[in-house]
Chain A
Amino acid sequence: MTLTSINFFVFVAAVLLLYYCFPKKLRWTVLLAASYFYYIITCPKYFAFILFTTISTYFGALKIDEIAKNTSDTIKARKNEWSLQERKNFKLKEQKKKKKLLAIILVINFGILATLKYYNNFSQSLAALINKTGLGISFPSLGILLPLGISFYTFQTMGYAVDVYRGKTKSEKNIGKLALFTSFFPQIIQGPISIYNDLAPQLYEPHSLKFENIRDGFQLIIWGLFKKIVIADRFIQPMNKIAELRTAGQADAAKMFLYVLLYSVQLYADFSGGIDISRGIAKMLGIDLAINFKRPYFSKSISEYWRRWHITLGAWCKNYIFYPVAMSKPFVNLGRRTKEKFGRHLGKQLPGSIATIITFLVIGIWHGSNLKYVGFGLWNGLVIFCSNLLEPSFQKINKKLKIRTETFSFRIFQMARTFIIVLVGYYFDIADNFRDAVRLIIKLFTDLNLSSVFSKSQIISIGFTKDELPCYAIGITVLFAVSLYEERNHTTLQKSLNQQSIWFQWFVMLVGIAAIFVLGSYGPGFSASDFVYMQF
């Protein structure tokens, strides 16, 4: 039951009906039942994993909270008996208990994720390495696939556990409510990854039926379906054609560049389209899920790109990896020593930049077990690392060359530069492995003949026909126009649309529905593609 199937929308309609018909206090139970129903229907064999994560996190967080409460109660009670040092020691001892418990929760749950995601690949690589010495070793492979949404719900739930540890939130006493937070069905497939304090109150609070929620949710769903069915699923066709040619050894640098360009559109439309559908469904239930994309291809730097692309993953990694690493004692000491030796700028930037590389390595590994994803993470991390460290030098160059950085043309240059860097990163995505990625990137710079990328013969060779071209053109044009409008006006099209007259709103929505109906890639002859991030 994928997000774009008829069955799924029938299911959503049923959930909406039940939700608003149920007594207010029990509405959250409808969401829990629906989420578990969806999970069991879609992924019955691996239901035990999400159940385990929920239960282990529930009891672990409860215990952490209990320790924290006991600590503060005990210190209060013994305030007059104990000295400051004794109180500090006690606090430290209890803190260690909490840390240990948190570590257990994290190790177990991330361990499950790591095992399921990386064991097979790791064991094969290890065996290959060992077998180079002549030993004939093979490790048994895990014959199971990844449970639905494991990367998303593990990160989300572990974020909750860390927040409880940090005292940012109280542990949830009701296991059902925590189960709902872990498994909420619109976001289980591909996020967004939510912060407990942002999402949980909305999940548990009973929402009244509001016209605006239904309308806004419906608009988001239409927009999401347009991106997924009209653009993403259509772009898969020529990409598959190029992949076939590549397998046959007939894909030159120009074709691969074209592939990466198509991929950049397809990936964005697929992922952001799916997120919009998820957000639309949640909105209809009165719940605002976090925005996960903010027109990333308009970014002027890679740092900005990662604040606009898969925003919630970036935010999660910033909160739970980057800051703990960058603020850790070793890194603070490193910063101090670097500042003493190499000056203020380097002292400030170096620890953060190294923490950035570590964070992006994790982001890379999150995407997959293949070494190429490590390359992907490293590429992004290194670009940010270099740009942070070299910022003063760039400023000097701009000043010397009298480049006016506030001009429109310079902003275009920055966007183009960032887009090219992003495209290079995508080569890691599309390659078979790390070596293949490096080879493709080298070929990009040595063998690419730009004039042949969009030549007529090239376009025809990958399956574009005269009949299909208008569909591609309409999809791209609409996506670009909407993105440009939102970028320039610092608003969303939805907000602007809902300020217009009702007839105009209807007109736009009906055109959207008609476009999905007419231009959508569904039916015989089209093979609907799974959402790209469903594999995580």
Chain B
Amino acid sequence: MKIKYVIRSVAFVITACFMLISLTVFCQANNPRDVLGMYGFYQEPESSIDVGIIGASEVYSGFYSPLAYEKYGFTSYALSTSAMPASLFVPAIKELYSKQKPQVLVIEMWSYTYNKKMQTSEDSLRKFLDNTPPSDNKTETIKKLIPEDQQKYYKYPVLKYHNFSSNLPNCSKVAIDKIKYKRRGYSIIKNYSTTTFSFSKNPDKHNSDNRAKKVSFSDEGIKYLKETLEYCKNSKIENVLFVYFPDLNTFNKENFAKSEQLITSYGYNFINLNNHKKEIGLENKDFYNICHLNINGAVKLTNYLGKYIDNNYKIEKNHSQEVKKEWDDCASYNDFIIENCRKKLKKNKEIQIYRESEFLTIK
């Protein structure tokens, strides 16, 4: 066969592979908010994050990292996805430490109240696993948490997401934002997202999903809490703060006291911010549903928690010029973003904002 045909064939194969890889990346928008949140983490310069926060949606809706940087000078990133189960906390910590060396690890504890079904729900697992790059950590997690016959669909997420024809708008938006992050080298909003809704004074007036529940620790939760504690201890992670973000549920106090005992027995700190709502200045209208804060709530919580972390942990804030420039840039948008979100909040239309463009445009 002539050389030119060999070259043509090879060139075609390379082009086809490139096209398929691009389509693979493009099609994977299972939940655009989480895709971008996780993607943003991997864009951060290595070893530039002072405080890593692990948890579910309470975290990314309640803590605004650029504001914490502006107020207290430490960098942070919420490595969190929607309904992230506690079964993923150890893998998430491993992922965090694979790229960063945070001086403080904050673990939001709401996920430890999930029951067994929620700890292994495909939807929740995928939001994290599908958005992490291939690694030993990912492979081990898949082997541990996923039934054998389903594992290949997690190893190769494209098998699930290839049919994105119905999801084209989301895939396109995600692709555009990913390119922006890549070009810039970071995301401005650091996985923050909010919903423009404010609870009325009486949350029980809302639908059943938004009525306060009595929450307690599940057996699964205890199991994963122990797993997390053991991992942190064995990995010699010294500064770990276990925290309950504020919400409007009621708690089984005994049950929660046990978890606090367990945590402190490992020498780690624990704080239940529900006991500090007054100090934080939180009211019902600072929530957009039973367990999530809106922009007003997030600002208050970030101020309080940021101060708590800064006061209780000696964080060295020596960053390179490049990292400082990045975070100064992000912080420069804080006032505008917060004000913009408040304006949208006033309309009370319950819209989730997670894209940079939505934070930065007035509509």
Interface of A with B (CB < 8 Å)? Answer: 209-211, 214, 466-468, 470-471, 502, 506, 509-510, 513-514, 517-520, 522-525
B20 at the interface (CB under 8 A from A): yes
Could you say which of A209, A471, A502, A509 contacts B163, with CB atoms under 8 Å apart?
Answer: A471
Interface CB pairs A-B, < 8 A, 17: A209-B1, A467-B165, A467-B166, A470-B165, A470-B166, A506-B12, A509-B12, A510-B15, A513-B16, A514-B20, A518-B162, A518-B164, A518-B165, A522-B162, A523-B159, A524-B150, A524-B153
The answer to whether the Cβ of B160 comes within 8 Å of any Cβ in the partner chain is: yes
Question: Chain B contacts of A214 at CB under 8 A?
Answer: 9
Most buried by A among B15, B23, B160, B166: B166
- Which of chain A's residues have a CB closer than 8 A to the CB of B150? 524
Q: Which residues does chain A contribute within 8 Å of B15, judged by CB atoms? A: 506, 510
Contacts A211-B2, A211-B9, A502-B8 given; indicate if A513 touches B166 (C-beta within 8 A).
no
| Given known A-B contacts A513-B20, A518-B23, A211 and B5 have beta carbons under 8 A apart | yes
Closest to B159 in A: A523
**Alpha-carbon separation in the docked complex, A516 to B46 (Å):** 38
Contact indicator B2/A518 (Cβ below 8 Å) = no
Q: How large is the interface on B (under 10, 10 to 19, 20 to 34, 35 or more residues)?
A: 20 to 34
The answer to whether B5 touches A514, judged by C-beta atoms less than 8 angstroms apart, is no
Please report the number of residue pairs spanning A and B whose Cβ atoms sit closer than 8 angstroms.
55
B176 interfacial by beta-carbon distance below 8 Å = no
Asked if residues A519 and B165 are in contact (CB atoms below 8 Å), the reply is yes
How many angstroms between the C-alpha atoms of A523 and B16 in the bound complex?
21
Interface string of B10-38 (1 = CB under 8 A from A): 00100110011001000100000000000
- Give complex CA distance A308, B131 in Å: 49
Q: Which residues of B contact A519 (CB under 8 A)?
A: 163, 165
**Distance in angstroms between the alpha carbons of A470 and B166 in the assembled complex:** 8
B164-203 with Cβ < 8 A to chain A: 164-166
- When A211-B5, A211-B9 are in contact, do A517 and B159 touch as well, CB less than 8 Å? no
**Contact: A520 with B162, CB < 8 Å?**
yes
| In contact, A517 and B165 (Cβ under 8 angstroms) | no
What is the CA–CA distance of A503 and B305 in the complex, to the nearest angstrom? 59
Given contacts A514-B20, A520-B162, 5 further A-B contacts (CB under 8 A): A211-B2, A211-B5, A510-B16, A518-B27, A524-B159
Contacts of B165 in A (CB 8 A): 467, 470-471, 518-519
* Complex-state Cα separation, A520 to B9, whole angstroms: 24
Q: Which residues of A contact B2 (CB under 8 A)?
A: 211
Please, which residues of chain B bring their CB within 8 A of the CB of A506? 12, 15
Determine the chain A residues whose CB is within 8 A of the CB of B160 once the complex forms.
523-525
| Residues of chain A within 8 A of B164, CB atoms compared | 518
Query: Smallest CB–CB gap between B331 and chain A, Å?
Result: 41
B358 CB, nearest partner CB in chain A, Å: 24
A513 proximity list for chain B (CB < 8 A)? 16, 19-20
In the bound assembly, the distance between CA atoms of A209 and B5 in angstroms comes to 11
The chain B residue with its CB closest to the CB of A520 is B162
Known: A209-B1, A506-B15. A523 touches B9 (CB 8 A): no
Q: Is the CB–CB distance between B163 and A510 below 8 Å?
A: no
Question: A residues within 8 A CB of B12?
Answer: 506, 509
Which one of A509, A522, A524 has the greatest number of beta carbons of chain B within 10 Å?
A: A524
